Chains A and B, each alone.
Chain A
Amino acid sequence: MKSIIQSAILILLVSGILLFINAELSEGSKAGKGTITVYNWGEYIDPDLIKQFEEETGIKVIYETFDSNEGMMSKIEQGGTSYDISVPSEYMIEMMKEKDLLLPIDYSKVPNIKHIDPYFLDLAFDPGNEYSVPYFWGTVGIAFNPTLLEGQSFESWDDLWDPSLKQRVILVDSARETIGMGLNSLGYSLNSTNPQELREATDKLKALSPNVKAVIGDEVTQLMINNEAAVSLTWSGQAADMMYENEDIDYVVPEEGSNLWFDNIVIPKTAKNIDGAHAFINFMLDPEVAAQNTDYVGYSTPNLSALELMDPEVVEDERFYPDEETRSHLEVYKNLGLELLGVYNERFLEFKMDMK
């Protein structure tokens, strides 16, 4: 009995000391204008910029990451953590607006908005950019490694169905992208609400099964870099990451069309430090910061002044900065509502079940 009490006291004592040290440590850095909590996608900011922001403003940044729009939204909806900044994609901004989860942006505190290309402002998902500020944009396409292939090219989505690609194609574990690819390959809209079209797309995807090596997430980057995989359905910035490490890899957006997406910075309802959040947004829109960030992240920046500071070879690369003419063939995701999102997911599950 005595030894139990002794060890209990010991454990309490150690915990108390650790708690005290922890509080002391965070106390030191809390000086200045408080903290902001940034909730962003993984690998989606240059960590040096966070340090620079902290030094310039005295605001401490707590940085957390998510890996899906939906997961991010349900966490913000539940409250709990007071996120001051988040970076959802366009259809999710629409949904979060509907659910009243966003705070309006005060543009008197974001003068750097003048650097943003007007093409990316005032889009259908957020008229007048009342709630969101452009961060990055990009496309969905095919990354492939010609050295591992026998001269196949990917001008059309249908090229993925080529029998010579048996067990070599990697798809992304996301219903909208994969079903959307099936819809696009049939010439349908990737926002299709027509059950008949969705059925045809699913059946067409099932015919792709023999060629599919795996359906995975971000792990695909490493597999492509290591020459483990030859072809993958992927986002433009992820392809840029692959190409940065492995020069053999190429990226193409097939001609039938594909998805054009925008990730914008928002201030969720959970925000506590609204001034700090605005300071962060303004900082990220600064041309030099945006140029450095784009260089690190690899996606396409909507910041015109930043483009002038960047390597012209990157900026003129049509694969990552398609001109407006090409962009007009691409489609932006619409918020289809939960009912249809469920249908897309069920079809996707059906396709995955069929893969053996």
Chain B
Amino acid sequence: MNKSRLRSIYSIPYTAWILLFVLAPIALIVYYSFFDLAGNFTLANYRNFFTSVYLSLTISSFLYAFLITFFSLLIAYPTAYLLTKTKHKQLWLLLIIIPSWINLLLKTYAFIGLMGLYGPLNAFLETVGIGKQQILFTDFSFVFVSVYIFIPFMILPIFNALDKLNPALIDASRDLGASSWTTFRRVIWPLTTNGVKSGIQVVFIPALSLFMITRLIAGNKVITLGTAIEQQFLVTQNWGMGSTIAVFLIVFMFIIMLVTNGKEKGASDNGKAR
């Protein structure tokens, strides 16, 4: 009796937090999405979402988010693996994490200078003999800078998963005659998929709604859902339409969470069965 009362006291901060800062805002967004500019109840915002530019906007947002996540993973996994093998791994990890403490906008502005026509990157290309290229305001610069920004968030969970991996398992696999590739595919990868999945979650979802970088680095040649939401709220003052796009973003978020969590079970079951 006493114990359960104590537990309910402990749960107050958590419940209050979830109610005030998670459920209430989502409920408000859903509520606003049913109103038009004049404040009348309507489903027009949802119809608008499927009939106008927003649908192709969603598709291109997904495409870029996929690219960003893919390249982050491609770089983060080997990096994390290498880190676990180094002597002072916590120090090396810290060095990778530190840049993520610097303000995002500052880092983005630095890239404008680095990638400019007269920046160091182009100076290098010129000495190598390739010649000046337009780097800023391209798909490449957008994906590159985004990957740079998200990489620490991808490395961290993968590093933790790899670090927890019992080395005896790898030794056992090698002793039983598995090649390096088989060991990776059958032992290391299945045991670290959890880390990879949380990495994907923290990268993919924010990448869908990036908006400052789209303007500063991509010159608005890449548009994401985040840009559209910002514009609806600040410029057009159409809170209804902005909320509708946000509702879809939340739905996509849940789908991604479901997909990444679902696979996780299968993988670990597989591991156990073998």
Contacts and interface: CB of A to CB of B under 8 A. Distances in A.
Interface in B54-98: 56-57, 60
Given A70-B235, A74-B237, A341-B236, A226 B116 contact: yes
Contacts of A355: 220-221
Contact of B241 (A173, A213, A342): A342
Interface in A231-258: none
Contacts of A115: none
B233 to A, nearest CB: 8
Contact of A214 (B52, B57, B137, B241): B137
Given A175-B235, A228-B117, A353-B56, A216 B215 contact: yes
A25 interface: no
B219 A345 contact: no
Contacts of B117: 227-228
Given A228-B117, A342-B37, A213 B219 contact: yes
Nearest to A339: B37
Contacts of A70: 234-237
Interface of B: 37, 52-53, 56-57, 60, 112, 116-118, 134, 136-137, 215-216, 218-221, 223, 228, 231-238, 241
B231 A349 contact: yes
B161 to A, nearest CB: 29
A68 B137 CA distance: 23
Given A167-B134, A349-B57, A74 B234 contact: yes
A219 B221 contact: no
A346 B116 contact: no
Contacts of B136: 214, 228
B112 A346 contact: no
A341 B220 contact: no
A5 B237 CA distance: 47
A57 to B, nearest CB: 34
A71 interface: yes
Interface of A: 68, 70-71, 74, 167, 170, 173, 175, 213-217, 219, 222-223, 226-228, 338-339, 341-342, 345-346, 349-350, 352-353, 355-356
A339 B39 CA distance: 12
28 contacts: A70-B234, A70-B237, A74-B234, A74-B237, A175-B235, A213-B134, A214-B136, A214-B137, A214-B220, A215-B215, A215-B221, A216-B215, A219-B216, A223-B116, A227-B118, A338-B37, A338-B237, A341-B237, A342-B241, A345-B232, A345-B235, A346-B52, A349-B223, A352-B223, A353-B56, A353-B60, A353-B223, A355-B220
A216 B116 CA distance: 15
Nearest to A174: B235
A342 B238 contact: yes
Contacts of A342: 37, 236, 238, 241
Given A70-B236, A213-B134, 18 more contacts: A70-B234, A74-B233, A74-B237, A170-B219, A214-B137, A215-B220, A216-B220, A219-B112, A226-B116, A228-B117, A338-B237, A338-B238, A339-B37, A342-B37, A345-B232, A349-B231, A353-B56, A355-B221
Which of A71, A219, A339, A353 has most B Cβ within 10 Å? A353
B11 to A, nearest CB: 20
Nearest to B233: A74
A68 to B, nearest CB: 6
Contacts of B37: 338-339, 342
Nearest to A337: B37
Contacts of A173: 215, 220
Contacts of B57: 349, 353
Question: Nearest 6 pairs between A and B by C-beta?
Answer: A214-B219, A215-B220, A214-B137, A342-B236, A71-B234, A70-B235
Contacts of B235: 68, 70-71, 175, 341, 345
B200 to A, nearest CB: 26
B118 A228 contact: yes
Contact of A216 (B219, B228, B231, B236): B219
A68 B228 CA distance: 16
A102 to B, nearest CB: 17
B53 A228 contact: no
